[in-house]
């Protein structure tokens, strides 16, 4: 039995192609109706954003508690979709930062978690709280690095994760400069704040906004100039976190201190 | 906390000062093993190509072995990734729905291209041998030998032509494949470096030099592992020959002579690549210190305080400088070379460690640190997968695979 090299290659190629046919992920191909296709590419009339007034935050942690309950994040796990940081800036210029359990139970002691030190109140020049959550960036690094496209940006600006498709590699967690992502202890996939997208879709506010009695948190639509929080963002001096990474974050802060990390 | 609610990373991360609540060492030992194993694959292939493409005849014996060994290493490069994935059964999605803005998405394509090149190169190198075996085992009586013949018939893929013309074509194909293989091998590993180098959120990783550094250290580790394995196998041969024929026998001396010869020649290439690797790493370090960007304060703290021992003593000292001196001082014999090679392998491992774990040793807040407490005793599956036992499984697999492959493709026969 002899076979020419050309024939061998030809037959191998044909054989491989035939064998590979049933492996094609036909289920992954989806045909859209014209209306669906239009909705997918046309620009949305909404761009969700968030406004945090750090001057109003008292560090009660109700937002963290509400978020954990609303979004099925295990209550006793150290991971959380939103958290509050406490900053104590002492006379020597040093900042002492902590966020025990993400401030789920508020700040009940003067003891600095992980530092085992107490800061003398007389030494404190200024002190404040800074709530943190996903920045729903315009150019999200997490979406860029996902190898399977399991995390994506909706056309109204919110970044979401497909729990049925995430492979759990953790690349998005590494890529986020804000540390908002983690592996969900129950679902074993990447997880993060979604601005309570399921609530926004129903016209509700996010769980944390509803839980905040002090009005430190507001969610808004940047494309609606009548939205009170949008008005503030457009007319007052607001800042964002870690501008230098070029991700164009969409959580805006009032009264952001230069010491905030 | 019950079994179901394990927070990934919480078991082995120790936090100091202020670290964001969601920050843990998510990429642990498995991700250290990943570039290490890929590096070994790429390095072994480059070593074999030095002979096949650039005609470095002095490396002929080692090259044959290196090629087959790179095949044994190939599936292992994927193992740590599979151990690491939280959803290992979905790993195949990377092949089916690659999202091409991600560096990892290229993995499926680069890896399978590379696998095809290695497999076909081996086929062309050993086709003659397969056909010879088919003929030699034709009239054998035992069932085992008949089975073996069948394997060779399959391996020859029906191409039984052994004319001079056909053999010459085989050789040409090997040269072409090896030549294509070098850039692909470098790409395979360079892109592993890119995975880290392109993470802008990580101050330690982000550097355009990262892919080049990874390629150089990959070649160093690949050559070192091939040389070391070669030494061990030859020593074993020497030992078994000594047992059979006595210490003074000529065949023992011949084996020893050949071994030393091959190793001496390979050492020259190794030293060249080692110098390139160290130069690039030092350039990166000096550049960071000189430009002193915002992150330098915390990086300096990590490099010169927290991780000083791991970086400067273990990696640069024991892993680079010491073996470099051992190889450079004239009169190196097998034993000294073997120790130097083991140290080089350790050095490259520490380099991977210091990049992967070191990159997570500080918080994104630049205000705190994280220590990695390597999981040893596996209380649950995750601690096995992410711990020392998982890493040892990964490290041992290529040798088991090589043992099996070498039964059919005798890469250790001297020409």
Find the domain containing B136 and state its range. Answer: 29-198+380-415
CA nearest to A95 within chain B:
B367
What is the average pLDDT across A160-182?
96
Say yes or no: B18 contacts chain A, CB-CB below 8 A.
yes
Burial (0-12, 13-18, 19+ Cβ within 10 Å), B317: middle
Q: Is A147 on the interface with B (CB under 8 A)?
A: yes
**Would you give the distance in Å from CA B256 to the centre of its chain?**
27
Considering the domain boundaries, does residue B42 fall inside one? yes
Q: Is B232 within the bounds of a domain? A: no
With an 8 Å Cβ cutoff, is B26 touching chain A?
yes
The C-alpha angle with vertex A233 and arms to A229 and A235, in degrees rounded to 5, equals: 110
Q: Tell whether B128 is covered by a domain.
A: yes
Residue B3: what pLDDT?
47
* Assigned domain for B236 exists: no
pLDDT at residue A228 above 60?
yes
- ipTM for this prediction: 0.88
Compute φ and ψ for B369, nearest 5 degrees: -130, 155
The reply to whether B356 falls in a domain is no
- Identify the closest residue of chain A to B83 by CA–CA distance: A169
**A190-to-A77, B8, B11, B221 alpha-carbon distances in Å:** 15, 10, 18, 33
Tell me the helix, strand and coil percentages in chain B, rounded to 5: 75, 5, 25
pLDDT (mean) for A141-153: 95
Residue A27 confidence (pLDDT): 59
Residues of chain A with Cβ-Cβ distance to B160 below 8 Å are: 1-2
Complete domains list, chain A, with CATH: 141-191 (3.30.70.20)
Cβ-Cβ contacts under 8 Å for B71 (sequence gap 6 or more): B118, B119, B122, B405
The answer for B 143-182 residues in CB contact with A (under 8 A) is 157-161, 169
Using the structure block, give the residue that is written with the tokens 């892109």. B191
Which position has the token pair 């990373």?
A: B9
Give helix B29-52 / helix B106-136 axis angle, nearest 10°.
Answer: 50
C-beta of residue B115 within 8 angstroms of C-beta of residue B122: no
Question: B120-139, pLDDT tens digit by residue?
Answer: 999 999 999 999 999 998 88
The pLDDT of residue B1 is 44
Looking at the complex, does the CB of residue A239 fall below 8 Å from at least one CB of chain B? no
A104-122, pLDDT tens digit by residue? Answer: 999 988 766 556 667 888 9
CA A221 to chain centre: 17
* Inter-chain residue contact B104 with A147, CB threshold 8 Å: yes
Q: To which residue do tokens 């069932």 refer?
A: B143
Question: Are B159 and A5 in contact (CB < 8 Å)?
Answer: yes
Yes or no, beta carbons of B159 and A8 under 8 Å apart:
yes
Lowest mean pLDDT among A20-29, A216-225, B73-82, B189-198: A20-29
Answer yes or no: is B41 within a domain: yes
Tens-digit pLDDT profile for residues B138-165: 888 888 888 999 999 999 998 888 899 9
Q: Is A199 on the interface with B (CB under 8 A)?
A: no
d(CA A256, CA A25): 48
Instruction: Give per-10-residue mean pLDDT for chain B (415 aa).
Output: 72 92 94 90 84 79 86 90 93 90 85 90 92 89 89 91 92 91 85 91 93 91 89 86 82 82 88 93 93 92 92 95 93 90 95 94 94 89 90 93 90 70
Rounded to an integer, what is the distance from CA B193 to the centroid of its chain? 13
Phi and psi at residue B260, to the nearest 5°: -65, -40
φ, ψ of residue A50 to 5 degrees: the values are -140, 145
Q: How far apart are CA B209 and CA A241, in angstroms?
A: 28
Contact B278, B315 (CB under 8 A): no
Q: Is the minimum CB–CB distance between A195 and chain B shorter than 8 Å? A: no
Cβ of residue B1 closer than 8 Å to a chain A Cβ: yes
Which long-range CB contacts under 8 A does B315-319 form with residues at least 24 apart? B315/B347, B315/B350, B315/B351, B315/B353, B315/B354, B316/B278, B316/B347, B318/B343, B318/B346, B318/B347, B319/B343, B319/B344, B319/B346, B319/B347, B319/B348, B319/B349, B319/B350, B319/B351
If one counts the domains in chain B, the total is 1
Mean pLDDT of chain A: 90
**Which residues are within 8 A (CB) of A146 and not within 5 positions of it... i.e. 6 or more apart?**
A152, A166, A171, A172, B99, B102
Q: B120 CB near a chain A CB, below 8 Å?
A: no
- Both structure tokens of B174: 């090997």
Cα separation, B272 vs B286, whole angstroms: 21
Give the max Cα distance, chain A.
94
Do the Cβ atoms of B199 and A179 come within 8 Å? no
pLDDT band of residue A81 (cuts 50, 70, 90) is very high
CA B342, B345, B351 angle in degrees (round to 5)? 140
Query: CA nearest B169 in A: which residue?
Result: A5
């Amino acid at each position: 039995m002899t076979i020419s090299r050309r024939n061998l290659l030809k037959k191998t190629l044909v054989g491989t192609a035939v064998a590979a046919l049933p492996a094609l992920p036909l289920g992954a191909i989806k045909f859209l109706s014209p209306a669906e296709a239009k909705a997918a590419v046309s620009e949305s009339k909404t761009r969700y954003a968030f406004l945090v007034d750090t001057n109003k935050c008292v560090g009660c942690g109700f937002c963290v508690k509400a978020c954990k309950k609303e979004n099925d994040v295990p209550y006793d796990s150290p991971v959380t979709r939103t958290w509050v940081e406490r900053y104590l800036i002492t006379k020597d210029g040093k900042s002492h930062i902590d966020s025990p359990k993400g401030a789920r139970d508020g700040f009940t002691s003067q003891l600095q978690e992980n530092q085992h030190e107490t800061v003398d109140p007389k030494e404190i020049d200024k002190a404040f709280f800074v709530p943190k959550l996903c920045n729903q960036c315009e150019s999200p690094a997490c979406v860029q690095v996902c190898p399977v496209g399991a995390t994506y940006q909706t056309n109204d600006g919110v970044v979401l994760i497909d729990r049925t498709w995430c492979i759990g590699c953790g690349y998005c967690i590494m890529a986020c400069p804000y540390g908002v992502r983690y592996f969900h202890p129950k679902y074993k996939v990447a997880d993060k704040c979604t601005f309570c997208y399921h609530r926004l879709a129903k016209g509700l506010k996010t769980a944390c906004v509803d839980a905040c009695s002090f009005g430190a948190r507001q969610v808004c639509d940047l494309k609606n100039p009548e939205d009170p929080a949008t008005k503030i963002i457009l007319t007052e001096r607001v800042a964002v976190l870690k501008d230098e990474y070029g991700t164009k974050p969409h959580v805006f802060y009032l009264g952001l201190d230069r010491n905030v990390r | 906390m019950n079994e179901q609610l394990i927070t990934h990373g919480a078991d082995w991360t120790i936090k100091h000062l202020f670290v964001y609540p969601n920050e843990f060492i998510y990429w642990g030992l498995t991700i250290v093993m990943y570039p290490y194993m890929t590096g070994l694959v790429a390095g072994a292939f480059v070593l074999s190509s030095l002979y096949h493409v650039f005609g470095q005849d002095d490396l002929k014996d080692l090259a044959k072995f290196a090629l087959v060994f790179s095949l044994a290493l190939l599936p292992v490069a994927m193992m740590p990734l599979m151990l690491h994935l939280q959803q290992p059964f979905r790993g195949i999605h990377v092949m089916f729905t690659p999202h091409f803005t991600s560096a990892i998405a290229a993995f499926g394509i680069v890896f399978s291209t590379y696998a095809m090149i290695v497999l076909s190169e081996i086929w062309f190198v050993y086709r003659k041998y397969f056909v010879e075996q088919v003929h030699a085992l034709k009239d054998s009586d035992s069932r085992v030998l008949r089975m073996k013949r069948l394997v060779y018939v399959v391996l020859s893929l029906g191409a039984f032509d052994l004319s001079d013309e056909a053999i010459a074509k085989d050789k040409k194909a090997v040269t072409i494949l090896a030549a294509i293989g070098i850039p692909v091998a470098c790409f395979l590993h360079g892109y592993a470096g890119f995975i880290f180098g392109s993470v802008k959120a990580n101050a330690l990783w982000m550097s355009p030099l990262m892919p080049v550094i990874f390629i150089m250290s990959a070649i160093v580790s690949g050559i070192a592992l091939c040389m070391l394995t070669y030494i061990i196998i030859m020593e074993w041969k020497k030992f078994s020959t000594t047992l059979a024929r006595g210490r003074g026998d000529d065949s023992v001396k011949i084996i020893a002579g050949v071994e030393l010869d091959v190793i001496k020649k390979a050492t020259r290439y190794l030293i060249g690549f080692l110098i390139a690797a160290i130069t690039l790493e030092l350039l990166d370090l000096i550049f960071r210190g000189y430009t002193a960007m915002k992150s330098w304060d915390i990086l300096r703290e990590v490099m010169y305080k927290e991780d000083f021992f791991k970086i400067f003593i273990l990696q640069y000292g024991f892993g680079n400088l010491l073996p470099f001196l051992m190889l450079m001082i004239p009169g190196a014999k097998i034993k000294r070379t073997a120790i130097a090679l083991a140290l080089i392998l350790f050095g490259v491992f520490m380099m991977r460690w210091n990049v992967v774990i070191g990159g997570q040793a500080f918080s994104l807040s630049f205000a705190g640190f994280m220590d990695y407490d390597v999981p040893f005793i596996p209380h649950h599956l995750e601690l096995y997968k992410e711990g020392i036992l998982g890493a040892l499984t990964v490290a041992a697999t290529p040798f088991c695979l090589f043992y099996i492959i070498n039964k059919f493709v005798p890469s250790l026969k001297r020409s």
